[in-house]
């Protein structure tokens, strides 16, 4: 009888995020910590652990640990793994009851790890265990990240159907379109087989969604040198795949989330989304105040009130969301008031600029007034964003006063 997959379990998807990997207080004997995330992998776990230990004992005896992180699998994978601990003392087992999800399982394992190099390998033997040594060699040569790749030289997939190949490549292409600078750094950004140096991710809040941890590591980590090693993704011999429609949705969610959170483009996208919400507020309020079926106030007064409320709406969202990293550095009501005044002035100048551009484009250049308005709005959005980025939510760098330090 097939076992329940994690998606049908009643546990919430990892509520305790973001997750931070700690720095190591001091270097111990363990150099490599390899996490094996499992859900219903009872049929493979023994073979995988014994093959990994055979390879690693020959090269890293006493200097590695394996950490199985299981999400309370109904097929008792965790219990089986615990029984293996007598035979393989370098094996640790974590059984999660409150959380689930592949990527967070790996992070929980890394949180408990002792190694300077952290890694992940699937629990179903689809990743050849001997690959760990090849990746380890790359780390020893100084890489920050060593990735097992299906699309590098000598890599591939065994017997994937055409449908699965298309889905896999399609997902990669979508990722490249959304985050070219991140997914473009490796040939197989959806790989679940890699080693990363602890210092590249320690202390950084990580918040992956679903399966694809490597993307999160590439996006948020401080990863310099990357090496890739090709491998053939094996056919599943035992157990069942956990990939579902939900996995694809989580992947898209993760991409969008990262796109909105990273860099100036992320800030601009958040700023534009807030601007769109302000347009709705403005329209709704104008309708409520001015329309004869509602309050029927004069157009000028109604427009002034609706614009100001929209500006307040936008300010609040920008302060709490778009520029929250800056807001955190400048707490207090007075600072917020200063930002509000600046924001208001910039938006009002933007409004005048909008009208000027509209007249210039439509009356002087003969562009249709609706198109002219659209162009003017586009230009003013950039204007508003740039000035607010530079003035309202600016981080002031204070140079230390050397005289003061010498006192
Ligand atoms: N702890 C934990 N492990 C998981 C979860 N989902 C998947 N895994 C494990 O993550 C690894 C990869 O999952 P798979 O379902 O095999 O995904 P895949 O290899 O990309 O897909 P298939 O080729 O269909 O097997 C396996 O070891 C799974 O047991 C989860 O929610 N929690
Ligand atoms: Mg698999």
Is 275 found in the same domain as 198? no
- Strand runs labelled E in 158-259: 194-197, 226-230, 232-233
pTM of the model: 0.84
Residue 164 DSSP SS3: helix
Residues with CB under 6 A from ligand 1: 6, 37-39, 41, 69-71, 100-102, 105, 122-124, 126, 192, 236, 241-243
Is 278 found in the same domain as 253? no
Residue 233 DSSP SS3: strand
Residue 24 DSSP SS3: coil
Q: Say yes or no to pLDDT of 191 above 70.
A: yes
Cα of 201 vs centre of ligand 2, distance in Å, is: 25
Q: Which residue has the CA at smallest separation from atom 24 of ligand 1?
A: 241
Is 122 found in the same domain as 64? yes
Q: Which residue has the CA at smallest separation from atom 16 of ligand 1?
A: 241
Is 319 found in the same domain as 224? no
Identify the domain containing residue 56 by its residue range.
Answer: 6-261
Is 281 found in the same domain as 140? no
User: Which atom in ligand 1 lies closest to the alpha carbon of residue 77?
Assistant: 29
Among 261, 293, 324, the domain-final residue is 261
Predicted confidence at residue 401, as pLDDT, reads 55
User: Which atom in ligand 1 lies closest to the alpha carbon of residue 126?
Assistant: 19
pLDDT band for position 190 (cuts 50, 70, 90): very high
User: Which atom in ligand 1 lies closest to the alpha carbon of residue 39?
Assistant: 29
Of 8-17, 30-39, 266-275, 385-394, the range with the lowest mean pLDDT is: 8-17
Tell me the C-alpha distance between 63 and 57, whole Å.
Answer: 9
Give the tens place of pLDDT for each residue, 121-163.
Answer: 999 999 999 999 999 999 999 999 999 999 999 999 888 888 8
CB 38 within 8 A of CB 108: no
Is 293 found in the same domain as 207? no
Q: Which residue has the CA at smallest separation from atom 25 of ligand 1?
A: 241
Among 236, 261, 286, the domain-final residue is 261
- The reply to whether 404 falls in a domain is no
Of 138-147, 175-184, 314-323, 392-401, the range with the lowest mean pLDDT is: 392-401
Give the tens place of pLDDT for each residue, 37-57.
Answer: 999 999 999 999 999 999 999
Is 267 found in the same domain as 319? yes
- The reply to whether 1 falls in a domain is no
CB 254 within 8 A of CB 212: yes
Cα of 236 vs centre of ligand 2, distance in Å, is: 6
Q: Say yes or no to pLDDT of 407 above 70.
A: no
Q: Which residue has the CA at smallest separation from atom 21 of ligand 1?
A: 241
Domain count within the chain: 2
Among 261, 289, 304, the domain-final residue is 261
Is 312 found in the same domain as 387? yes
Cα of 231 vs centre of ligand 2, distance in Å, is: 14
Mean pLDDT, rounded, of the chain: 91
Q: Which residue has the CA at smallest separation from atom 5 of ligand 1?
A: 102
- The reply to whether 398 falls in a domain is no
* Residue 8: DSSP 8-state: G
Cα of 324 vs centre of ligand 1, distance in Å, is: 35
Cα of 182 vs centre of ligand 1, distance in Å, is: 23
Q: Say yes or no to pLDDT of 275 above 50.
A: yes
Q: Say yes or no to pLDDT of 310 above 60.
A: yes
To the nearest 10°, report the CA torsion of 174, 213, 24, 142.
Answer: -60
Tell me the C-alpha distance between 273 and 318, whole Å.
Answer: 10
User: Which atom in ligand 1 lies closest to the alpha carbon of residue 105?
Assistant: 1
Is 243 found in the same domain as 371? no
CB 339 within 8 A of CB 396: no
Tell me the C-alpha distance between 167 and 163, whole Å.
Answer: 6
Cα of 40 vs centre of ligand 1, distance in Å, is: 9
Residue 27: count other Cβ atoms within 10 Å of its Cβ. 10
């Amino acid at each position: 009888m097939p076992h329940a997959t994690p998606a049908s379990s009643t546990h919430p998807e990892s509520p305790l995020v973001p997750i931070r990997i700690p720095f190591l207080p001091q270097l111990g004997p363990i150099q490599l910590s390899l996490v094996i995330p499992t859900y219903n992998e009872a049929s493979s776990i023994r073979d995988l652990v014994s093959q990994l230990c055979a390879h690693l004992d020959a090269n890293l005896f006493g200097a590695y640990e394996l950490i199985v992180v299981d999400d309370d699998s109904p097929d008792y994978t965790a219990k089986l793994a615990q029984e293996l601990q007598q035979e393989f003392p370098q094996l640790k087992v974590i059984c999660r009851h409150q959380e689930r999800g592949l990527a967070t399982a790996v992070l929980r394992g890394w949180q408990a790890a002792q190694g300077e190099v952290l890694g992940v390998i699937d629990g179903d033997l689809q990743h050849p265990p001997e690959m760990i040594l090849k990746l380890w060699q790359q780390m020893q040569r100084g890489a920050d990240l060593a990735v097992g790749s299906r699309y590098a030289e000598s890599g591939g997939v065994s017997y994937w159907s055409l449908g699965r190949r298309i889905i896999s490549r399609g997902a990669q292409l979508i990722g490249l379109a959304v985050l070219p600078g991140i997914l473009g750094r490796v040939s197989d950004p959806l790989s679940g087989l890699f080693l990363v140096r602890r210092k590249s991710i320690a202390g950084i809040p990580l918040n992956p969604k679903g399966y694809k941890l490597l993307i999160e590591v590439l996006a948020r980590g401080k990863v310099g040198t990357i090496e890739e090693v090709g491998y053939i993704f094996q056919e599943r011999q035992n157990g069942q795949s956990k990939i579902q429609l939900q996995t694809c949705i989580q992947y898209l969610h993760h991409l969008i989330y990262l796109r909105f959170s990273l860099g100036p483009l992320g800030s601009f996208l958040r700023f534009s989304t807030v601007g769109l919400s302000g347009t709705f507020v403005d329209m709704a309020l104008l309708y409520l105040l001015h329309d004869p079926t509602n309050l029927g106030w004069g157009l000028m007064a109604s427009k002034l009130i609706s614009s100001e409320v929209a500006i307040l709406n936008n300010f609040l969202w920008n302060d709490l969301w778009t520029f929250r990293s800056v807001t955190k550095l400048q707490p207090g009501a007075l600072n917020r008031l200063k930002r509000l005044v600046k924001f208001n002035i910039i938006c009002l100048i933007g409004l005048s600029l909008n009208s000027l551009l509209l007249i210039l484009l439509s009356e002087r250049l003969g562009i249709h007034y609706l198109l002219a308005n659209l162009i003017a709005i586009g230009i003013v959005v950039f204007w508003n964003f740039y000035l607010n980025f530079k003035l309202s939510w600016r981080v002031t760098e204070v140079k230390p006063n050397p005289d003061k330090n010498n006192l």
